[in-house]
Structure 1
Amino acid sequence: MVETCAMVGCFAENCDNYLTVDLEPEDFSGGSTSRSSRATEPRERVRVDVSRDMKRLRVFDGSSFEGPSPRSAKFKRRIARYFPGSATAADERLDAEARGVKEVREAPASIEVVEEPDEPPFAEAATNDEPDEKPNAAKTGDEVEPVPYSSLAALDEGMARIMKSNRKRSRDAQTLLKRAVKTKEIKFFNRIIKDFGNDKQMGFAEEAFRRIGDAGLSPTVYSYTNLLNACVRVGELDRARKVWDDMIAAGVDPNEVTYTVLVKGLAQDGLLAEAARTVRDMTAQSRAGVEGVAPNVRTFSTLLRNCVRHADPGVADECIAAMRDADVKPDVASFEYLLKARCAAMDAKGAWAVVDDMDREYLEVPPQAHAALATVSSLTGDVEKARSACEAARQAVKDNGAGTVEDDGAGELFGSRGGYGSDSDEPKAANEQVKGRKKDKRHSQQQQQQQQQEEASKSVQQFLKLRNSDALRQVEEVEKFLALGDDFVKEVAAVVNRGPESESSPVLIVEGAANVKKPLCFKEVFGNDLPVRLEVCSGHGDWVTERAQRDEGKANWLALEMRRNRIRMTWAKAVRRRLDNVALLCGMAHEMMGAHVPSGSLTEVYVNYPDPPEWVGSSQCLVDQAFLRDAHRSLKPGVGHLTLVTDDPNYAMRMCRELSKVLRLFKPTEHGGKPFKSGVPEGYGGSYFDEMWKNGRQNDRYYIRYKRV
């Protein structure tokens, strides 16, 4: 059925192809009618969305790839085969006769292909402030069908490239699924589920797991663990819980890896207490004699890493104590996470105590840990220790020998990989082989393993380069801050030591949306009536603090970020710059905007480099219809603007499609109604990691600016 559907048409998300069918009376009654009577009877023309029936083909990752263009020869051949009465089929028959091919059989149905217009649908919307009601409008009256992916890809090389890559990934995935069913080996199924999960192809991972039963096999603990990991990697905790429950119901006992994956899912979702209880349960079961469930250093490091993300040094301390209680020796990563968690809480004394613990264990302090110590020491007023940490960070970079990204321009840092999931049709090693020459299978496998080891080693080196560069960047910022003089440092330290929760803090932090009685009053927050601008997904705060400093006396700024440690970083940077025109919101964008931002109060909303959806079926997508409606509500009518910037072509297309569905709310500002601009305007500003992506040859940038209607 799937293969048949594949021959018919294209996907609902990615291509808007329709067929217009002339239906005769017998089509409904099932009776027969003479040819002469049919000619005189009225025929009802029905517009049929062929792609709607193709959703079965999208079984795995909906928009991963799209069907052929309705103008392509492949599409015409498929229509001619399955709809031989169509106008396209007639053209194909003429071509077939010219090639000496047997004529396609006749059929009574009259079907024609309605191709997409040459003018993209967004061009019409750009000409009118209030477009007329569209025939394909949704029930709400202000949503229309989204602009096709093919129309967007035609405007940008990066988008066209990523669509081609997505199609190849999906073809490769389907090939692996077919091969797994034929081999009927559970190890092969487990491997491809693992690979799909690591590649964040959640739909394919679920389909591979389902086909284990179709092949007459039973899933093992490795099958469940790999599927659980696939769920966790894309942030689908509810799905992960269901996989866990199904595993227990099936009588399959989890092992330490399964537990570790569950801990990761809970911790990264902010459920640190539940994750810590799970780790303690692992220890208790192990002591009770259950084999294979004892937590290891990776289990604890998973929890510690998320303690940093959520700036929770208390749970981090408990985790270290639990490690020692379980006779698990903390490694360098464990101590580094603990140190950073304490730095996020501005606990300089506690952070330096971690260094003493590492010295007692004869462990080297990595450059980023020294940089974090330099930052927290400078902010809390300990100039001597801050300078000492800066020197130690520079020395640690020299000692590890990895160098920095700037040393070689990061040539291959973020380059594409050969093999499965890349643009290339074959791995690089295979391309270099002499055509037609047979190779020994064992020798080929050894070559492949050697290549993978070399790539892994190279990836580690490039990762160390990136960490070294980030450490040196932080050191340079600290040194610039210290150069402002001891008096300036002391004034900043006085604010920092009182803490961000202090009423005297010049930068307000608002956390969560629960129990909010009314939105913020910006005049009370900032003490003036200046225009207010908002950055969503403010990250480490580099862009918003730079803009706020530039706009002192001209505008006020809000920064919204869901990760607590990043909010603390932004607060520290704002205090270090002595800014009083910044306020911070910590939480999920949809909740925080609705609870704290008054209607019609903003002149600008910026979304800079948001995390793309982890997979095509993810519900965790920032720029969706709910967000656009909230942004429209928050912006001032007629003057408010929404600006979206991303380096991800897939996400850029998804944003444009979402905006094209709400033409009554926003209209594009680009000339001719173009939905986006390739590249970012000069002087827009960026972050450190934005520069890293450029050095890594990731130069795709999409600037999407719309005006509130």
Structure 2
Amino acid sequence: MADEAALTQQIGAFALEKRLDRALAAFAELERRGLTPTLYTYSNLLNAHVMAGDICGAEALLRRLPAAGLAPNTVMYTTLLKGYCAVGDLAAGRRLLRTMASAPLPSRPDARTASTFLRGCVRAGDVGAARWAWRRLPEWRVVPEPPASLAFARLLAQGLRVGELKALCESLGGGGGGGGGGGGAHEAASRGTRNPCVFWERGRCERGRNCKFYHDARHAQHDEAQRAAEARDAEGEARLHLAHVAALLGREALCTRALDRAAALLARDEPADERDMKKLRRHELRRDVARVRQYVEARRARRGEAEALGAGLRRCLLFSARLDQPHAPCSRPAAARRLLDGLERTFGLRRAQRRGLVDGDDIARALRRAVSARGRLRWARIFGDELPLKMEICSGTGDWVAAQAKADVGKGNWAALELRHDRVYSIFSRMVLGAVPNLCVVGGDAAGVVAQHTKPRSVAHAFINFPEPPDRQGDEAADTSLHLLTPAFFASLHRTLQPRGRLTIFSDNGRYCRTLAATLGTLQRADGRKLFACPALEEHSALRRERIEGVTLHHGVPGPEAGHLCYEQSFFDRFWEARGQSGDLNGTWRFFILLEKVDV
């Protein structure tokens, strides 16, 4: 039994490290010793498959359980659901939820299951799937926790569903969906039980209103202040989403009321022992409140919101967020249809058209003009000029790319490429509310967009800022099919660069930068010539640097010579500041690589 427990624990550790090969080896060793895997063992191995992006392997493992005399429980189903959401396969996620809903009690959806699926909907930008799941929460007997409510609020805002979003904000303000402990329509007493919850009686029940046992309101809770703070933050963030969509729709009075309420809820910082990330999140929300308010105050001096919204949607190009499908070329009609479907599914195009805010036919024509006969993006048609195209890959929420584009108006055009559709929406917001005319946002898997939808020799400069390593713990041997920055991707990116086009990679992770430098330094053509060279940098000559496989790794922050036209504080900078560890931007925690395409 001790051997089985130790090997099970090893499998769990390998799963977190994304070392599927080692997890499988540990499982094989367990079987070789004649030990019997428990449901917990299978659960850890399932997580190893999911963490490595091996969804087919995860499905196959679940199918093996009946032969072992076991049945999957809620935790295992939710783990597989997390895998489906990670690759953007929400159709499979919905099928799994239906299976869970009709399964015996130990396998039914719970609050974590609901949050997992709704976060997947946010990532893929699927408003319809989120509304489907939200309507089923009562029949699943699940009360949404704050993360689930906020995921749904974000999607309602993206889909321009103002009425539903207002109702959700009111429910959060009244305690609904806030994750409290004692009341609500789904409290244990309404389920026919008065059996007391021993954790509640001791002063803390992690399940809150989703607990199956009775919570007596007379028992004070140790985390009461924390839950109250979470409820305030949740309502504040939801009100901010409402203000944002109201601003896009030109509903100034509604926007102002929502902003005022959000600002009041987010104004207070909690006790000093609160986690840094919560404080940083609240600070980021305050920044967004100020940004939307600035737009509202300046709107009278600018053109009408209908025109601004329509112009923004014409420069919003949404491809699929699926990561488990092959990257295949497509025709102009097929590509244009995908782009139009993306705006309808994610950004509420049809609702905007019904409100008379945009001309849907005009946007459809613009999307057809935006792609070539082979389904590749035509930057001159998108922007209406022939200025050099600069592209940031994995743009996050868009602070940096919007600042660079604003500094480059009249001299260059910018494309922000981002997989997660919630971040695409954040970039879209900065583009529209910030009136950035030379910026477009491209949603989808960067590997597919670069390989199949970007013309050869069409990009003057590509940027990758703060790339995520395969494993956050820094293990380069981590096994994941979802890693983007592979030799194949860099070869595709090389084809899209113009002659002497450049690539700048900027990070605070020196270990990962050295790995990328080694990868880039070994890329070569069939005749042995390298794909990239390192240009000299006069303005960075005083910085420390090192050479890895012929690639120069600079210590410090890139400047205009490396393509960074202006300094824009990143989320990561604010994160380190919040922890009191801002570091030395000119050497200690910042690194960059600048490469130039070696052409034929």
TM-score when scaled to structure 1?
0.61
Q: Distance in 2 between matches of 1:679 and 1:345?
A: 41
Q: Which residue of 2 aligns with 1:511?
A: 319
Q: Which residue of 2 aligns with 1:599?
A: 456
| 1:468 aligned to which of 260, 271, 282 | 282
Q: Distance in 1 between matches of 2:395 and 2:16?
A: 27
Q: Distance in 1 between matches of 2:19 and 2:557?
A: 30
Higher relative contact order (CA 8 A, sep 6+): 1
| 1:613 aligned to which of 438, 445, 470 | 470
Q: Which residue of 1 aligns with 2:555?
A: 678
The answer on whether the counterparts of 2:4 and 2:35 sit within 8 Å (CA) in structure 1 is yes
Q: Distance in 2 between matches of 1:656 and 1:370?
A: 44
Q: Which amino acid aligns with 1:233?
A: M
Q: Which residue of 2 aligns with 1:630?
A: 492
Q: Which amino acid aligns with 2:571?
A: F
Q: Distance in 2 between matches of 1:293 and 1:469?
A: 39
Gaps of 5+ in 2: 179-230, 321-327, 332-372, 472-476, 525-529, 538-546, 584-588
Q: Which residue of 2 aligns with 1:392?
A: 261
| 2:237 aligned to which of 365, 368, 375 | 368
Residues 678 and 243 of structure 1: is their aligned pair in 2 closer, same or farther, counting only changes over 3 Å?
farther
Q: Which residue of 2 aligns with 1:707?
A: 596
Q: Which residue of 2 aligns with 1:176?
A: none
Residues 694 and 327 of structure 1: is their aligned pair in 2 closer, same or farther, counting only changes over 3 Å?
closer
Q: Does 1:192 align with 2:69?
A: no
RMSD: 2.6
Q: CA deviation at 1:230?
A: 2.8
Q: Distance in 2 between matches of 1:698 and 1:248?
A: 53
Residues 598 and 629 of structure 1: is their aligned pair in 2 closer, same or farther, counting only changes over 3 Å?
same
Q: Deviation string for 1:359-412 (max 9, x for gaps)?
A: 455443523333323322222222233233333333323557257xxxxxxxxx
Q: CA deviation at 1:310?
A: 1.6
Residues 271 and 620 of structure 1: is their aligned pair in 2 closer, same or farther, counting only changes over 3 Å?
closer
| 1:206 aligned to which of 17, 21, 24 | 24
Match of 2:390, SS state, is strand
The answer on whether the counterparts of 2:403 and 2:568 sit within 8 Å (CA) in structure 1 is no
Q: Does 1:567 align with 2:424?
A: yes
The answer on whether the counterparts of 1:279 and 1:295 sit within 8 Å (CA) in structure 2 is yes
Q: Does 1:661 align with 2:479?
A: no
1:53-132 equivalence runs, <5 A: none
Q: Which residue of 2 aligns with 1:439?
A: none
Q: CA deviation at 1:604?
A: 0.6
Q: CA deviation at 1:493?
A: 5.0
Q: Distance in 1 between matches of 2:6 and 2:307?
A: 61
| 1:642 aligned to which of 503, 508, 515 | 503
Q: Distance in 2 between matches of 1:499 and 1:220?
A: 57
Q: Distance in 1 between matches of 2:507 and 2:164?
A: 38
The answer on whether the counterparts of 2:53 and 2:481 sit within 8 Å (CA) in structure 1 is no
The answer on whether the counterparts of 1:632 and 1:665 sit within 8 Å (CA) in structure 2 is yes
1:152-231 equivalence runs, <5 A: 184-231=2-49
Match of 1:187, SS state, is helix
Residues 334 and 619 of structure 1: is their aligned pair in 2 closer, same or farther, counting only changes over 3 Å?
closer
Structure with max Cα Rg: 1
Q: CA deviation at 1:534?
A: 1.2
Q: Does 1:351 align with 2:169?
A: no
Q: CA deviation at 1:521?
A: 2.6
Q: Which residue of 1 aligns with 2:86?
A: 268
The answer on whether the counterparts of 1:368 and 1:470 sit within 8 Å (CA) in structure 2 is no
Q: Does 1:690 align with 2:503?
A: no
State the percentage of identical aligned residues.
28
Residues 338 and 361 of structure 1: is their aligned pair in 2 closer, same or farther, counting only changes over 3 Å?
same
Q: Distance in 1 between matches of 2:308 and 2:164?
A: 19
The answer on whether the counterparts of 1:402 and 1:464 sit within 8 Å (CA) in structure 2 is no
The answer on whether the counterparts of 1:225 and 1:258 sit within 8 Å (CA) in structure 2 is yes
Match of 2:402, SS state, is helix
Q: Distance in 2 between matches of 1:651 and 1:282?
A: 40
Q: Which residue of 1 aligns with 2:187?
A: none
Q: Distance in 2 between matches of 1:252 and 1:266?
A: 22
Q: Which residue of 1 aligns with 2:386?
A: 529
TM-score when scaled to structure 2?
0.71
The answer on whether the counterparts of 2:506 and 2:558 sit within 8 Å (CA) in structure 1 is no
Match of 1:618, SS state, is coil
Q: Distance in 2 between matches of 1:584 and 1:679?
A: 28
Q: Which residue of 2 aligns with 1:495?
A: 308
Q: Distance in 1 between matches of 2:118 and 2:420?
A: 15
Q: Which residue of 1 aligns with 2:143?
A: 329
Q: Distance in 1 between matches of 2:112 and 2:311?
A: 33
Q: CA deviation at 1:703?
A: 0.5
Match of 1:578, SS state, is coil
Q: Which residue of 1 aligns with 2:345?
A: none
Q: Deviation string for 1:438-491 (max 9, x for gaps)?
A: xxxxxxxxxxxxxxxxxxxx6x62232122112112112122222314353x72
Residues 687 and 224 of structure 1: is their aligned pair in 2 closer, same or farther, counting only changes over 3 Å?
farther
| 1:241 aligned to which of 31, 39, 59 | 59
Q: Which residue of 2 aligns with 1:320?
A: 134
Q: Which amino acid aligns with 1:318?
A: W
Q: CA deviation at 1:243?
A: 2.9
The answer on whether the counterparts of 1:280 and 1:322 sit within 8 Å (CA) in structure 2 is no
Q: CA deviation at 1:319?
A: 0.7
- Structure 1 segments, 4+ long, off by >6 Å, are none
Q: Distance in 1 between matches of 2:162 and 2:535?
A: 48
Q: Distance in 1 between matches of 2:582 and 2:100?
A: 42
| 1:401 aligned to which of 267, 270, 286 | 270
The answer on whether the counterparts of 1:402 and 1:465 sit within 8 Å (CA) in structure 2 is no
Q: CA deviation at 1:656?
A: 0.7
Q: CA deviation at 1:254?
A: 0.7
Q: Distance in 2 between matches of 1:688 and 1:472?
A: 16
Q: Does 1:383 align with 2:252?
A: yes
